[in-house]
A and B are shown apart, each in its own frame.
Chain A
Amino acid sequence: MVIREQQLYENLKTKYIGLGNTDTTREEWMDNVYRDTYANMVMHNPELHHLSIVLNKPQLLTRMSMIEKMVQPVQGQKQQKP
């Protein structure tokens, strides 16, 4: 029964990324939130525009760096903060 539930969960998780269960760690959860956030910044053009003006960087490059941050959102932040 447990295995069946586990399978069902895995199945759903591939379909709906970001799905969590009781075993989801804080890091996994935060990773997911950060990824959603970065993706949202990229997908909503005014937000990307806002960011690119502040950083004085073309929108394409701002977009790239945001997506690059999605690779390791939480660890990446930790590395940046000494």
Chain B
Amino acid sequence: MSSMDPELYLYNLTLNKPFASIGSIVGYFTNVDKNSQKKRKYQELIIATNSSLHLYRLNPNEGKLIKILEHDCFSVIRAIDVFRVPGGSKDCVVLTSDSGNLTLLTLNQSNTKFEIIHNEPYAKTGLRRITPGEYISVDGKNRAMMISAIEKNKLIYILNRDSDDSILISSPLEANKSKNLTFFTCGLDVGYDNPLFVSIECNYEDDTNQGKKFLNYYQLDLGLNHVLKKYSEQIPDTSNYLLSIPGGADGPSGVLLCSKNLIQYKFLNKKNHSIPLPRRRNANLESFIISGIVHKMKGSFFILLQNNLGDLFKITIDYNSETIDNPGDVNSIEIQYFDTLPITKKLLIFKSGFLFADSENSDKYLYQFEKLGDDDENAKSWNSTNYPDEESVFEDEDVTFDIKSLDNLGLVDILESINPVVDTKLLKLPKTRDDSDLEDIPTLYSLCGTGARSSLKILNHEILTNELVSSELPADAQKVFTTKLSSSDEFDKYLVLSFVDGTLVLSIGETVEEVTNSGFSLASPTVGVQQLGTNSVAQIHSNGIRYLTYDKNNQAAEPNLTEWFPPAGIKIQSCSSTSTQIILGLSNRELVYFELDEKDELIEFNQRVEMSAQILSLSLGDLNAKNKLRSKFLAVGTADEMISILSCDPDDCLEVLSTQLLSSQPSDLMIMEMANQYSSGINSEAIPSSSSLYLHIGMKDGIYARVLLDERSGEVSDSRRCVIGTKPVKLAHVNISNQNMIMIFSSRTFIGFNSKMSSLANDFKVLPLKDKIFTYSFNFKSEDCQENGCVGVYRNNLTIFTINEVANDLLIESIGLRYTPKKMCESNKDNGIMYVIESDYNITSPFVKEDVAEEDLKNGQQIEHDENEDVEIYQQFGYPQEQNKWGSCIQVVSTIDKSILQTVELINGNQAAFSLTQCTFKKEDNGDESEGEDYLIVGVSSNQTFLPNGSTENCLLCFKILSNGLLKFIHKTKTDSLPLAMTSFQNKLLIGLQNNLILYDLGLKQLLRKSFASLNCKQIVKIEVMKDRVVIGDIRNSIIFLTYTALDNKFIPFIEDVMSRHITTFKMIDYDTVIGGDKFGNIFLLRCSSEASDMTVEDNHGTYLATKEKFLNGAPYRLNNLCNFYLQDIPTSFNKGQLSLNSYSGSDSLIYTGLQGTIGILLPMVFKSEITFFVKLQNLLREELAEYGYLITGRDNLKYRSYYSPTKGVIDGDLIEKFSMLNYSGKSKISKILDRTPKEVEKKIIEMRLRVYF
């Protein structure tokens, strides 16, 4: 097949966006209305990841960051900064990307989306070392900005504003110097003098000063419109950070230059001031500043710097505040320890007194300032007056301080992030409780985070319930209802349970008690309960209606009873009701309709309608939302697989308005209004801005569908359907956070709702409840449970629970780990146990006890299992650092108890674990029946160093897996180099050592070498096996397939890739196909031709393959490349399977994770028509979105997805879903070409989404 028409198409959807930031900014991005001062705008935060922008609004009253907007850029974002042109009314964003454009953005206030102000092209697309854009620095007064490349190029743009308040940008001025490397740049604040930029640079071909760093000052002469290098001075070789000091009227101007253990104040040729960078007591590693922030307040400013251990320092600058024109000189600077936070990429301070720590790894934090560190008299501080020059700083030995827990800052909010994701497994938990019918959904188990903050995260896409009460019932309940007794009641009074042969009525109050004098019929099952009129309740049971009117003043008294009976021998099978209407479906296919008259009497409509078939389900609407007199429509589902919409209007009562044929019998129906659009209010609560009427349909074969019901004509359209389970689907209404939602019952319980925050407008989601299953549930409101309450029944259990939040994001559960995780493997015993290896470089492990017995040391192991209470301290401060030291351990994690069962710390000889596998060795002489014993093999190196790699000893540690899943050390086997890849293969162990494959079997004293093969590659990083086939991934030579001939005990490479890809991970998805990822962020699918594949199967000795002529010095055959896709994030794992229940939704898909937190799915596309549709749509969208201005950096999407190799066989679902962002004319333009309506196109897009339940 040609590249135009690949054999296979995959649909790529990103389920979780990467959240590792490259920068973040804070500002007033929405227009500040100068005329109305009363409404103060909130400050907003933009976090830029490598591929998208995330906008948050700070609510200072609650101290919460609320997500407002997410924008996929479809390009590689390099740097971001904020500016406000002098006199402008709001802040704007400047960003650089691989598009070669300088992008200026503004936030549109009305519909909150980013709008392009300018996209100034300045370079070719792609990233080269001389492409400017790596650094952006904005002048202190926002008059100009400098865009620099790593090497040579610097461009300076002048910003201006015209009379219409629109921003103008000049053509760039160049400040290039060849063979010059730039490390850091910064725009100085010099008031209204000519803008000045500083940068740390070094020249690589200057003989005298090669490698020496210089601080260069570039001045932009606004009058002459040119740039000159004003001043240059040599600085320490370790300088790495610059922070501009406010100038003009606000401060002395100048810059803080940070180097190893040193901070200097510099400003042209003015006097320098030096202070030491304090170090922690007992920490002997160098200290560097990695981020900082200057916060300007009225008349003063506040500086915080963070070092590479996370310690924050406060810098105070003492200066003579002289006239505005002539800023005073600095007298001294002072440094003081402030607090310790996780290592950040960027620190940001909000005007309302919050600090945002944009952590490099894991969650991001919002802190509130409690004080500014001024009050502590005893705090140690260092003043520059004591240090006349640089040398004196290093001579001072008293530069240590003691760390303390958070004191000046208080944590108020957390933005959850799973980055970095090191490894992930898609697993289905074993059944923990035998009695539970809960069918588990395969869940992702990810190794996330670094250092002491790392964890094994369980990523559920489920909704959390909060159980309040659970009690047992005498029998299995079919249905449950709650009801008020009077329309004025605030809370529900009765809880009615319907059994197969009776009814139980309970009163809701402080205690739940059985009510005997309720007036309800207890002998027959209840079909429905409805509070009607002011003081009445109707119980609809299978043999009639009991219409009960309660005494207004004494509800406990016996109610006044009116009864209605169906014809003899006829039963009521289904019913539906509103507070003024009741409709009954009788077993003789007749519909009986009642309405309440003004005197609260129930009047039967004079005509009964006979349906075409048995009535299975009925639904009237819901009156609560609007003060309507009656629901206008009635939906009737009949056994002939049809739904009829009937009118309830007095004029044409019970006349059929429309009908709809279904694929299966409708087991339940529900007409309900649902909000479908939300506008985010200032207080950031999403407010429903429009809603529509929907008919929800549950079908007998486990399908749930939602159709739009036209509020005038009763026509149905726009259906969304998904497979929910295997049992007939029942529906119930729930109200959560004042939002109407639908509860769907089948094999599992689901909630369907319109998502508040989503890239898709009108995005309907169906998510399962976590750990809970019900057959039916009903809203529940009592004094103790005023909001979001539900009562549900399952078999003979009654549960009252609340659902506090329906998040669209992942539900993350964490199990804390000790060090940065490297790899994991699951137990083959189906006991939910995971083995994780963890190692951290450059730390000394506090878990190594000094008093380890000699014997343990000899074994190389110490097995300890004591809970260390210092974990929290290490999470805040990190482990003590020491050059070239390792901390490493193997942990046994139970995913059922969510706890660590065992930790094996590697304490001998500075060891670090790099690979592991579970392996079953079978003793051959024991006869064929023997089960084989499970072992865990861990690849370990001693004194490992990087750049360049080196180690003193490498070995394989062999642990026996005991019956309870714990590990027992057996022996170790030395190897020549570090084993990075290993797997269990035909009851033996197969490892990859550099370019060698070695097969080991278990021996008494060590592992025994059984076979050996040397391959044409560099370093094997992963091995996968299937039957007698071995596939290896190489660190730079892509994938090689080998076949193992058991008769000759030989590995024969027979097919390899044409490209040399730098494999990070791959997965065999079938015998001939692999999906892989490389370190540049590509995903690709490779397939072995059937000719080559057959050859390995037919030839037992492999003689033909072994003797076949080599092709271009490699294996005789080459792999076919089926799919290519640029992901941007580095793929770290692939899993084949489903994120949904069982195999309801058909075929398996591929789930991948990326290092920076991407979780994505590749769905195989089956139908030709589907493929052509999406390919066409994708092409049209690429153009239309660019025209519409959604692709804000101006990067061509096709080129972006073909960043390294031309994209092939993959449809960019993320782009497709942006269809809904288009305006109406754009949508209809595309739809017209596709010969469909915009609604139909949207439906097709959402159907793809519903296939993955995300």
Hey, which bits of chain A sit against chain B, CB under 8 A?
14, 17, 35-36, 39-40, 42-47, 49-50, 52-61, 64, 67-68, 70-72, 77, 80-81
Residues of A within 8 A of B241 (CB): 60
Find A70's partner among B20, B204, B843, B1156 (CB 8 Å cutoff).
B204
Q: A55, B420: Cβ atoms under 8 Å?
A: no
Answer yes or no: B343 CB below 8 A from chain A CBs: yes
What is the CB-to-nearest-CB distance from A14 to chain B, in angstroms, rounded to a whole number? 6
Answer yes or no: B360 CB below 8 A from chain A CBs: yes
In the docked arrangement, what's the CA distance between A34 and B450, Å?
29
Closest to B1158 in A: A46
Residues of A within 8 A of B1080 (CB): 44, 47
Q: A49, B20: Cβ atoms under 8 Å?
A: yes
Residues of A within 8 A of B1217 (CB): none
In the docked arrangement, what's the CA distance between A44 and B127, Å?
8
Q: B288, A56: Cβ atoms under 8 Å?
A: no
If over half of A's interface residues share one DSSP class (helix, strand or loop), that class is named, otherwise mixed; here it is helix
In the docked arrangement, what's the CA distance between A17 and B178, Å?
9
Answer yes or no: B808 CB below 8 A from chain A CBs: no
Give me 22 A-to-B residue pairs in the complex whose CB atoms sit less than 8 angstroms apart, sorted by A's number: A36-B128, A39-B128, A39-B151, A44-B50, A44-B127, A45-B20, A45-B1156, A46-B1081, A47-B1080, A49-B360, A49-B420, A50-B1079, A55-B947, A56-B841, A56-B842, A58-B290, A58-B308, A58-B343, A60-B241, A60-B290, A70-B151, A72-B211
Answer yes or no: B76 CB below 8 A from chain A CBs: yes
Closest to A46 in B: B1130
Residues of A within 8 A of B1045 (CB): none
What is the CB-to-nearest-CB distance from A26 to chain B, in angstroms, rounded to a whole number? 17
Q: A-B pairs with the 10 shortest C-beta distances?
A: A39-B129, A43-B127, A56-B841, A71-B204, A60-B290, A71-B211, A58-B290, A45-B50, A46-B1130, A64-B240
Residues of B within 8 A of A39 (CB): 128-129, 150-151
Closest to B21 in A: A45
Answer yes or no: B1155 CB below 8 A from chain A CBs: yes
Q: A45, B152: Cβ atoms under 8 Å?
A: no
Q: B290, A53: Cβ atoms under 8 Å?
A: no
A-contact bits for B811-849, CB 8 A (1 contact / 0 none): 000000000100000000000000000001111000000
What is the CB-to-nearest-CB distance from B987 to chain A, in angstroms, rounded to a whole number? 33
Given A64-B240, A67-B181, A67-B183, also A53-B361 (CB < 8 A): yes
If over half of B's interface residues share one DSSP class (helix, strand or loop), that class is named, otherwise mixed; here it is loop
Find B843's partner among A17, A36, A56, A64 (CB 8 Å cutoff).
A56
Closest to B150 in A: A39
Q: A43, B78: Cβ atoms under 8 Å?
A: yes
Find B204's partner among A49, A53, A72, A77 (CB 8 Å cutoff).
A72
Find B290's partner among A40, A47, A54, A61 (CB 8 Å cutoff).
A61
Answer yes or no: B948 CB below 8 A from chain A CBs: yes
What is the CB-to-nearest-CB distance from A79 to chain B, in angstroms, rounded to a whole number? 11
Closest to B133 in A: A43
Find B948's partner among A36, A55, A77 (CB 8 Å cutoff).
A77
Answer yes or no: B647 CB below 8 A from chain A CBs: no
In the docked arrangement, what's the CA distance between A71 and B1080, Å?
24
Within 8 A of A (CB), among B302-347: 308, 343, 345
Residues of B within 8 A of A61 (CB): 240, 288, 290, 308
Given A64-B183, A64-B240, also A44-B842 (CB < 8 A): no
Residues of A within 8 A of B129 (CB): 17, 35-36, 39-40, 43, 70
What is the CB-to-nearest-CB distance from B1167 to chain A, in angstroms, rounded to a whole number? 34
Answer yes or no: B282 CB below 8 A from chain A CBs: no
Residues of B within 8 A of A60 (CB): 240-241, 288, 290-291
Q: B127, A40: Cβ atoms under 8 Å?
A: yes
Looking at B290, B422, B1129, which has the most chain A CB atoms within 10 Å of its CB?
B290
Closest to B309 in A: A58
Residues of B within 8 A of A64 (CB): 183, 240
Closest to B881 in A: A56
A-contact bits for B267-281, CB 8 A (1 contact / 0 none): 000000000000000
Q: B181, A71: Cβ atoms under 8 Å?
A: yes
Answer yes or no: B451 CB below 8 A from chain A CBs: yes
Q: A54, B946: Cβ atoms under 8 Å?
A: yes
Q: B841, A54: Cβ atoms under 8 Å?
A: yes
